[in-house]
A and B are shown apart, each in its own frame.
Chain A
Amino acid sequence: MDFSTLIQILDSTLRLATPLLLACLAGLFSERSGIFDIGLEAKMLIAAFFSAAVAYDSGSVWLGLLAGIAASMVFAAIHGVASITFRGNQLISGVALNFLASGMTVLIAQNWFQQGGRTPSLLGKARFEPLTLPFADALKDVPILGPLYSDLLSGHSILVYVALLAVPASWWVLFRTRFGLRLRAVGENPAAVDTAGVSVIGLRYAAVAIAGLLCGIAGAYLATGLQAGFVKDMTAGRGYIALAALIFAKWRPWYALGACLLFGLLQALALRTDVVAAIFPFKMPVQLLDSLPYILTVVILAGFVGKAIPPRAGGEPYVKER
């Protein structure tokens, strides 16, 4: 495998890791506050549809992004009402939302566009165009570093950089602000936070809303950046891979970046069977490559390679008086 192929693969790794990373950070905020979220998939999917639909109708990808975020936030709100206000089962709420998103998107798409549950292809301003970073052209011919900068890092849509910047931002919010400290505390011991006079419900709603925002961006990126338009079930299990990445990352932002890049690399490799055949001395089944994120996560969960300890109050609705 030559250097340019490597750059190509890493380039598509970065693109495929972006939705995973955004969804993974979404799950990070939610689960750190004690709210399990297996509805990441749902929020991404509904955001993907509404961002594509609005971008197509208005011709502006930015309006599309806003619509996607709004749709995702509505789903986050339902999850919040069910699991925080009414103290329902968070897993069941997630399962329900996954069904709802999968059905609603096709139903509305068919009703609006009559194209078999997809949106028309997005063109021009209705998509996120690749962004050329400063000096990318000038540095192109520098050996090694040139291609790394101008081919790998430069030339992605703005949401890729948003996702990358979301990592330090999440770290800062969670570990360097008062809000973050409280958020993490509410996921470990909500009673203590409550005793200190801070609203458990308010904090958890805030976390769920942040998750909605991030999933909205992830979904919009899928439909308007990575691809040009919405197709049925286009998230294709990415919400679950993000969940796996979250465990792999042991609920930490920087580790999440690493886990998502790794899983993105696996997805990128699965698309390049020629490269896979060249790397591995034996015949690597593509199905094994597809399921590696899940297998690795089970191994991590099993605690054979480092232990993944979830937030202690995760999944438990908080009841003020016992």
Chain B
Amino acid sequence: MDVMPKWADVLLVPIISLLLAFAISALVILGIGKDPVEAVKLMVSGAFGSTYGWGYTLFYATNFIFTGLAFAVASHASLFNIGSEGQATLGGLGVALVCLALPWPHWTLALPAAMIGGALFGAAWAFIPAWLQAKRGSHIVITTIMFNFIGAAVLNYMLVNVMRPEGSMDPASAKFPPGASLPTLHDILAVFGIPFSKSAPANISFLIALLACVLVWLLIWRTRFGFELRAYGRSESAAVYAGISPSKIIIVAMLISGGLSGLMAINNVMGEAERLVLNSVEGAGFIGIAVALMGRNHPIGVALAAILFGFLYQGGAELALWMSIPRELIVVIQGLVILFTGALDNMVRMPIERIFLARRLSAKSGE
């Protein structure tokens, strides 16, 4: 069955897809009359040339690791969770409610509580679509899309009517207490005497995101539930025959997926903004889809792809600043990456498979 060696599947196909996406992006940059080589140089130096750049790249990457893992976990059960955006929005609400509930004395107390709040709210937002899929057969893609919009409306309502401090016109919550402020990478690295930019928003959430990668790996490949999850994802009928309950898999997988999406909020809401604003997720939920696709639903791949997208985001901001290329270029590149690594996967895969097949056949006939 496996025509290709594993390395070709894991590395060669995504890299060729990525190159195709970048080649077309370069054409787009040429098309709007800018120099792609200069643009790439600027993006690389802007994202990796300074600790300030790194700080932003890793900050964005943290968001994408959480949403990428969320999509990957659901994917292993053959569930297409397009609702990360809404789940992360609600996660933000959970984190904000926890942060504002008490005058937190120290972040070491506030962070675990906020993580529970974010994960619970995110998971709760995933629970209804999951339950409807498991018990009523409602298509999870459509319900999660609907829940993205309902989630945005809930956040809007809460910010405008409930959480807005008196006298403020801004649809945003009050500022979190200072005790809920998370240490940035600057603070953490200073302990080891390593200088790091003070103004970049990357914070301890990045380490938690990496920890989440390890835990997701353990869950999927080293636990009984992970085995059941993958078995169900491969073949529902075989899983049922083996005594695995589809309802349980669907609901638990979506709760974990929603929880991971919700956890994203410790980075963007608690770590950076330190208050809850409208549209704080900024599309990270959808980028999670691209990240998981590129990373082949494996935590290591997700982490690497998240850093790639973090680079695109930070580099794109630099382009807007210095070359007056609109930030929307990044949205175009995102779209192309998703198109080539996801939807047009077979376009790249089929010819490569044919080459490997031909080589194998000629090797055989030569014997």
Contacts and interface: CB of A to CB of B under 8 A. Distances in A.
Interface of A: 36, 38, 78, 81-83, 86-93, 95-104, 106-108, 110-111, 117, 237, 240, 243-244, 247, 285, 287-288, 290-291, 294-295, 297-298, 301-303, 310
A89 B340 CA distance: 11
A298 B342 contact: no
Contacts of B146: 240, 244, 294-295, 297-298, 301
A134 B184 CA distance: 70
A220 B286 CA distance: 27
B143 A100 contact: no
Contacts of A101: 335
Contact of A285 (B139, B145, B161): B161
A106 B327 CA distance: 9
User: Which of B80, B153, B157, B345 is most buried by chain A, counting CB atoms within 10 A of its CB?
Assistant: B153
9 contacts: A89-B342, A89-B343, A92-B289, A93-B342, A99-B286, A107-B329, A111-B32, A301-B138, A301-B142
Contacts of A297: 142, 146
A92 B153 contact: no
Contacts of A294: 146-147, 149-150
B142 A107 contact: no
A311 B238 CA distance: 24
Contacts of A102: 328, 331, 335
Given A38-B141, A107-B328, 10 more contacts: A38-B82, A99-B334, A103-B328, A103-B332, A103-B335, A111-B32, A117-B326, A295-B150, A298-B150, A302-B138
A298 B343 contact: no
A96 B344 CA distance: 10
B339 A82 contact: yes
A107 B32 contact: yes
A86 B138 contact: no
B100 interface: no
B243 interface: no
B157 A287 contact: yes
Closest 8 CB pairs of A and B: A103-B331, A99-B335, A100-B335, A103-B332, A93-B343, A92-B342, A96-B339, A291-B153
Interface in B145-174: 145-147, 149-150, 152-154, 156-157, 160-161
A88 B344 contact: yes
A86 B139 contact: no
Contacts of A291: 149-150, 152-154
Contacts of B5: none
Contact of A303 (B136, B161, B330, B347): B136
B132 interface: yes
Contacts of A301: 132, 136, 138-139, 142-143, 146
A91 B82 contact: yes
Contacts of A78: 339
B137 interface: yes
User: Which of A36, A240, A302 is most buried by chain B, counting CB atoms within 10 A of its CB?
Assistant: A302
Contacts of B141: 36, 38, 91
Nearest to A308: B138
A61 B46 CA distance: 43
B33 interface: yes
Contacts of B235: none
User: Which of B137, B293, B332, B333 is most buried by chain A, counting CB atoms within 10 A of its CB?
Assistant: B332
Given A240-B149, A295-B150, A288 B157 contact: yes
A298 B346 contact: no
B138 to A, nearest CB: 4
Contact of A117 (B293, B328, B334): B328
A261 B326 CA distance: 37
A101 B332 CA distance: 8
Interface in B59-90: 80, 82
B338 interface: yes
A100 B344 CA distance: 14
A55 to B, nearest CB: 21
